[in-house]
Structure 1
């Protein structure tokens, strides 16, 4: 008893012990292999591999293929397409079990696709741009399929143990941010010493580990094949699609989905223009390869801080109020980017290296706080039995919005004639982007004004799996169905 009191009084010890206690609580109530899967898919996959791939591929297109920034923005949108197809991967995992398993085979499939794609682009030199694009498409597909599969598990746990829904999203955000931090820190170093093409060989690490996860993650094998019980896989897929269509028609579902789509679509990205400007020795600050990685790493740290702020202080607020103020701060933080591009920071005596840290930190923290409640809301909207498909549908809607954002940004760069060496109108592109972020504020009324622990869908919409006959022994059993937790 006295030891616990000493730990409570000592803030340093508390900072060290609280995360351990939190993870212990999660592994106690959820299957440890599921928690390990989150660390792998979100930490090593989305976090490390995603960030590493982002920087290395940028240098690959710029230095190896010598492509214009607006064209690269188009390419990025193309190999983002597997994320738009997430409902298809969701239907496969929910309605088409293989050898009695619904999740394991798709982890293995994702790993094989990613391993082959990363190996080809790393080993074979002088690839045509189209061939390299196809390899990048395969790497992206590997990440997307693995993401859908683990998201199906997360959505089911968020429904069965609603008190842990915010905690699971916080864990995902923390793993993703931590992995991204490491990926960005080392990516510049590897690009400098191995070159962009050689560095892409490290992308094979994640799919190889995903294959291993497919063999070790706990999943109870169905006694009878799902297709036999449902008179064919196509009939079961049809039921899944009908249930998904019924759910999305609820105002509690389509309104926040529409907001997520519009908020992403209006947030046009000018990333490639910024990247080329960062590295330009005449118009830009001429940051080195290592420092560009450090900039992105700072953003990853800021994202982790945003997750911690949400988890510690904001997770109990209503969705609408939190999203409104977070979007407002996100729009205001974008003005810093405009100041940086116009080089006003130099006029007031703030060096580029210092100002970019301020700008990146502000944007990433507010951006993460803005998005965390929407991820929690998405998980809570998923009915049992079709949780993989419906969560994938919501993420597909997000991905379409993100694709419009990327292609819209690429079109904006092309219209304003922002090239590898001409950045005169980059400030105008940033200004248009910031104005659209403020416009998004008028759409916040679409977000439900409820808390994270309140019910959203009618009871008949949350129990579709029972009426459709989806039995639990065919699903990935991560927690007992009747588990009750006080959080």
Structure 2
């Protein structure tokens, strides 16, 4: 196996394990089912709860700063990566042992695994940038990551539907544990990283990288566009789940199969993206991001039953792939040397915060106006992001 294929394999395997363990994890549909059916959450309440437990994904620069400036046992990545996986694993054991009683306890218990998985995700992204940029294979590694997490998503959605239907949330969480543990030997035996001889030298490198990043107009413009693009009213998971469960009376198994169909479409989209889109100039890429998002959203105007659902979930996932992958590639290109982990984490946090804010706004619109008007409003708002494209400075050709 040559070095590039090895890097792609490791990146893909990590994201597969991450998807199975906590992003979203085998227990995610069970959690949504518990909140809506046992605690009576509506769309906006589910969006709020999802926002709270994803806060660790919105402060990802903190993990990057620590890893860039304070190596643990001589390593910037490996040691913290193992620590993050241990936090996630121990958190799942605590959830299983302690049980579930109140909304507050649910929040406290589920935010801990998010800390572990989110911190590990930052370090994987940093490793991808540090190793991939010199070989000019960052986009290929990202494609491998998203292909693998989509495979995990297919498994999660099919199995997760049955788990939500027939198992308790506590036992569903326990099923995510082995995959969190598997990340540790993968890190120990597969990841190569040179030891950092001087903590002071590492901190100085990170400081210089951040200073350079703060002066980058392209980086600020990229961050502004990524936030505003993602903060538009979303047809996100909370709204879709409530609509499917309460309005359409879909079973948990059917919802699982629908999400599986979306992941199959996503995999096909990733393959098409790798074949046709990775060499596009940034200017054209950004325009396609907006067009892709608009077409993906407007498909849901026809979402009325199981048959239309399968077609829409499959088609919108393929169409919307550029809206998923394009911003990640643009963010990766904007990262300066020696602060890759911190800056890429910052941009991912901007995306995550924007998406969760968009989910909350979507919940606000859905409850008084219904699903159809949410689709219309979402499509109009996403279309308006075309006028935000000047925020990002363009290169005439792909670097």
TM-score (norm 1): 0.76
Count of matched residue positions in the alignment of Structure 1 and Structure 2: 398
- Deviations along 1:327-359, one digit per CA (max 9) or x if unpaired, are 22431332231232xx4xxxxxxxx22210121
Using a 3 Å threshold, how does the CA distance of structure 1 residues 58 and 103 change in structure 2: closer, same or farther? same
Match of 2:213 in 1: 247
Q: Is the contact made by 1:318 and 1:451 (CA closer than 8 Å) also made in structure 2?
A: yes
TM-superposed CA distance for 1:78, in Å, is 0.7
TM-superposed CA distance for 1:82, in Å, is 0.6
Q: Is the counterpart of residue 60 in structure 1 residue 26 in structure 2?
A: no
Q: Distance in 1 between matches of 2:98 and 2:117?
A: 22
Q: Is the counterpart of residue 393 in structure 1 residue 346 in structure 2?
A: yes
TM-superposed CA distance for 1:204, in Å, is 1.2
Q: Is the counterpart of residue 102 in structure 1 residue 76 in structure 2?
A: yes
Q: Distance in 2 between matches of 1:174 and 1:390?
A: 24
Using a 3 Å threshold, how does the CA distance of structure 1 residues 371 and 270 change in structure 2: closer, same or farther? closer
TM-score (norm 2): 0.91
Q: Distance in 1 between matches of 2:396 and 2:270?
A: 18
Match of 2:385 in 1: 440
What is the 5 A alignment of 1:220-259?
220-222=193-195, 224=197, 226-227=198-199, 229-230=200-201, 236=203, 240-241=206-207, 243-259=209-225
User: Looking at CA atoms only, which structure, 1 or 2, has the larger radius of gyration?
Assistant: 1
Match of 1:314 in 2: 277
Match of 1:217 in 2: 190
Q: Is the counterpart of residue 198 in structure 1 residue 162 in structure 2?
A: no
Match of 2:141 in 1: 168
Q: Distance in 1 between matches of 2:159 and 2:370?
A: 32
TM-superposed CA distance for 1:366, in Å, is 2.4
Q: Distance in 2 between matches of 1:289 and 1:259?
A: 36
TM-superposed CA distance for 1:48, in Å, is 6.4
Using a 3 Å threshold, how does the CA distance of structure 1 residues 46 and 267 change in structure 2: closer, same or farther? farther
Q: Is the contact made by 2:88 and 2:117 (CA closer than 8 Å) also made in structure 1?
A: yes
User: Gapped runs of 5+ residues in structure 2?
Assistant: none
The one of 99, 102, 118 aligned to 1:125: 99
Match of 1:410 in 2: 363
Q: Is the counterpart of residue 139 in structure 1 residue 84 in structure 2?
A: no
Q: Is the counterpart of residue 364 in structure 1 residue 364 in structure 2?
A: no
Q: Is the counterpart of residue 425 in structure 1 residue 370 in structure 2?
A: yes
Match of 1:78 in 2: 52
User: Gapped runs of 5+ residues in structure 1?
Assistant: 1-23, 344-351, 417-423, 455-487
Match of 1:154 in 2: 128
